[in-house]
Structure 1
Amino acid sequence: MITDYSIQAIAINAIPLIFAITIHEAAHGYAARKFGDNTAYMLGRVSLNPAKHIDPVGTILIPLALILTGSPFLVGYAKPVPVNFGRLRNPRIDSIWVALAGPGSNFIQALIWAVLLIVLVGFGIDEKFLISMAQAGILWNLGLLVFNLFPLPPLDGGRILSSMLPARQSIALGKLEPWGFFIVLALVFTGIIGSLWMEPLMALFKSVIYALTLLLQMLF
């Protein structure tokens, strides 16, 4: 959680967070285009311009409210990338890949930040700003990865689960979508999603990144 509100601390966290959100959303649109739906591309959402993806409520107000209430996790959302699942070549399977593209991009970013951190420390570069930014980049991306995999629509995990369920159960799950994010927010504010979902899964993905970078760590 952010406890330092200096300009430097804001920059350290804002830069990797903006990258994390922007690439996450662009990845959804890119995957959708690859699987046959050009909707996001035609609307300019397959873009690395943060302004295309920032949502005033989900990107600014909700994280701010969590900071002010002392939540151990900061979560939020960007403007959802529009996807016409009916245009996908194989809607049931392709929609899983489209949904996974966002969290997958966050995992890759977390891995890149981890490599940067190892290289900085390995070469003895004692630049606190860069080291802190790399650490923030790992945490923000793992946080977005795990949060978005929560199996409730409209989050990515909910869309993945919906595509994997039989038709009747998938329809029933889809009916929760208008209320899904409010349910998740309630679980966040009560600490349930943090202790039962975020903490164990973030620890798991940290272990995966550690294993993937172990050789690099040994080299340094």
Structure 2
Amino acid sequence: MNELIQTITVYALPVIFAITVHEAAHGYVARMFGDPTAYQAGRVTLNPIPHIDLVGTILVPLGMLLLSKLAGGAGMLFGWAKPVPVDWGRLRHPKRDMLWVALAGPMSNLIMAIIWAISLRLLYQSEGISGFWGQMALAGISVNLVLMAINLFPLPPLDGGRIVFSLLPSRAAWQYAKLEPYGMMIIILLLVTGVLWPLLRPIMAVGTMIVRLFLP
């Protein structure tokens, strides 16, 4: 139990920052391209409270962490926040601008993973990485890379699905968008069958390669 509490303490701040900045980035870029919906709803903020979803942000990650620890695993986290409201029709060029709005979230996670890596480098030079803050920095890198990879998976309603929609010709894009009502069910199915993580490895590998440039 003490080990579980320690793990929760190490992961809590990285998870909150990862989700908060991810969602705020979507809203900020949407506003840049003409849609103030998220801003008007108070979602372009670094205050985590408006972004927290009780089930996706708290209960699911805690449940997965507990099950992983009971099974003797490393504790891979999965979760989500309240989606930032975006009125795609209010963007200046909806189909084209959707790409940048969708890409903003995963790219913010990559940037945060780099920031945690730089923090780890500084800690390594001063006090090593075996202490609490070193473990938190490692957790920050892991959480952000996983969140980036999951959201870049090319299936709507994930960010990767929005990016693919933006890049496809209009007719193919609208056919592709028909997957959206089933997207989260497919993701959960891939997750519980163990198929999702192998599919995410190429994205994780690219992110890890970039972050390693900043590690000690």
Q: TM-score, normalised by structure 1?
A: 0.89
What residue is the counterpart of 1:207 in the other structure?
209
Matching of residues 32-47 of structure 1 within 5 Å? 32-47=30-45
Q: Deviations over 1:189-208 (max 9, x none)?
A: 111011222x3322221111
Secondary structure, aligned partner of 1:151: coil
What residue is the counterpart of 1:100 in the other structure?
103
Deviation at 1:127? 6.5
What residue is the counterpart of 1:15 in the other structure?
13
In structure 2, stretches of 5+ residues that fail to align are none
Q: Equivalents in 1 of 2:43, 2:121: separation in Å?
A: 33
Q: Deviations over 1:112-141 (max 9, x none)?
A: 000000111022356611100000000000
Q: Given the alignment of the two structures, is residue 165 of structure 1 paired with residue 163 of structure 2, yes or no?
A: no
Secondary structure, aligned partner of 1:4: helix
Does the CA contact (< 8 Å) of 2:57 and 2:81 recur in 1?
Answer: yes
In structure 1, stretches of 5+ residues that fail to align are none
Identify if the C-alpha distance between structure 1 residues 81 and 123 changes in structure 2 by more than 3 Å, giving closer, same or farther.
same
What residue is the counterpart of 1:28 in the other structure?
26
Which letter maps to 1:207?
M
Q: Equivalents in 2 of 1:50, 1:124: separation in Å?
A: 30
Which letter maps to 1:10?
I
Q: Deviations over 1:52-74 (max 9, x none)?
A: 01112221233244335548632
Deviation at 1:49? 1.2
Q: Deviations over 1:56-105 (max 9, x none)?
A: 22212332443355486321111000111111112122110000110011
Identify if the C-alpha distance between structure 1 residues 179 and 62 changes in structure 2 by more than 3 Å, giving closer, same or farther.
farther
Q: Given the alignment of the two structures, is residue 115 of structure 1 paired with residue 118 of structure 2, yes or no?
A: yes
Secondary structure, aligned partner of 1:5: helix
Does the CA contact (< 8 Å) of 2:145 and 2:207 recur in 1?
Answer: yes
Does the CA contact (< 8 Å) of 1:73 and 1:194 recur in 2?
Answer: no
Q: Equivalents in 1 of 2:105, 2:129: separation in Å?
A: 32
Q: Equivalents in 2 of 1:128, 1:68: separation in Å?
A: 22
Matching of residues 56-205 of structure 1 within 5 Å? 56-70=54-68, 73-125=76-128, 128-197=131-200, 199-205=201-207
Aligned-CA RMSD value = 1.9
Does the CA contact (< 8 Å) of 2:120 and 2:134 recur in 1?
Answer: yes
Does the CA contact (< 8 Å) of 1:149 and 1:158 recur in 2?
Answer: yes
How many equivalent residue pairs?
210
